[in-house]
Amino acid sequence: MNRPQQLSFGAPESRGSQLPVPGMGNAWRRGLGAAALICALLTGCGSGGDEPVKAKPAPTVTVTATVTATPEAMTSQVSSTLAEATGVAEKHGYDVSAHDASDKDVSPGGDWKVCFEKYTYDSAEFAAVTSDAPCPKTDGRPIPWPAMPTTVGGTYAHAAGAVAKATSGDITVKASYKDEDVDDSQASEGDYDDWKVCFQTPAPGTRLVGDRDVTLWLTESHCPAAKGTYKDRTNDPNYTPPSDTSGSGSSSSASSASGGSSSSTGGATTCEIRSNAGNCYNAGQFCRGSDVGSSTHAANGRLIYCRDEGSWNRWNY
């Protein structure tokens, strides 16, 4: 009776005590090769078959980074002078450049006003205008100079306020009438706030380029037709009173009617003091040094006085 053969894929314990089975050697070797391949693919096999193969360490990678200093953030420099803005920007590490903010191509000065600013990573560029100019709406546009307002017909207080909004120039006041006094120092104290403006320079709508000065002519009452006239016509040295047309042949002069000593007989005016040519004086005319302090009646019958007015002596009311 034959005993069945026990198959084993492992190594035989004793080659001499076991008979070979036909074909088993090749099968064993094929099985062993497949096992070795699987072992190598999955985990790797140690030399002893019982220790895992250690993985090789990954190579060390060294990275070198280059760091560039970043300029510090800074506050807006709009409305500062160009010199001030440049100093601040340079302290923050910016390279600074500047140009004319208007449609002109003028090299800006340090006292110019900054209107626009532009920053990049490490540079700052400022657009500026002269200190007395308003900024354009956008960089490179014309300067919007303000226009002279209309002040004629209104009060001085209203006119002064409107002009101050348009220009930083001086306001000069003058009298609309020659025989009405106006003083600049009194205007600043409010003495003429309710006086009327009769004339103005420059004309309404004129562009007030720079700190343009303005002149206003004032009056306390109604405005004259033109500057330099007299509110009281009799104050005009060239005033001639109306001739007497009553036909009486003799009349009293205006000064006689008012208590004066000048009289007219037959149309001739009597004057206490006459010129070297024998004529009556009028207000505004020169008088002799010997007449200083004296008074006489003028050709129009009004009393006039010879006063020392510096270099010249004049007859005035």
Q: What is the pLDDT of residues 93-149, one digit of tens each?
A: 999 999 999 999 999 999 999 999 999 989 999 999 999 999 999 999 999 999 999
pLDDT at 31: 54
- Residue 254 in tokens: 């205006």
pLDDT tens column, 53-79: 566 676 776 666 665 566 667 899 999
pLDDT at 140: 95
**Residue 295: what pLDDT?**
86
**pLDDT attached to residue 134:** 94
Structure tokens at 243: 């001739």
What is the mean predicted confidence (pLDDT) over 157-171?
Answer: 94
Peptide bond into 202 cis (omega under 30): yes
User: Given its phi and psi angles, is residue 155 left (phi above 0), alpha (psi -120 to 50 degrees) or beta?
Assistant: beta
Q: What is the pLDDT of residue 17?
A: 42
Question: pLDDT tens digits, residue range 247-279?
Answer: 444 444 433 333 444 444 344 457 888 887 788
pLDDT at 176: 94
Nearest alpha carbon to residue 82 among 121, 118, 122, 115: 115
Among 200-209, 284-293, 307-316, top mean pLDDT goes to 200-209
- Work out the percent of the chain whose per-residue pLDDT is above 90: 43
pLDDT of 261 reads 43
pLDDT tens for 4-34 read 433 333 444 444 444 444 555 554 455 555 5
pLDDT for position 32: 53
pLDDT for 202-228, tens place per residue?
999 999 998 899 999 999 989 999 988
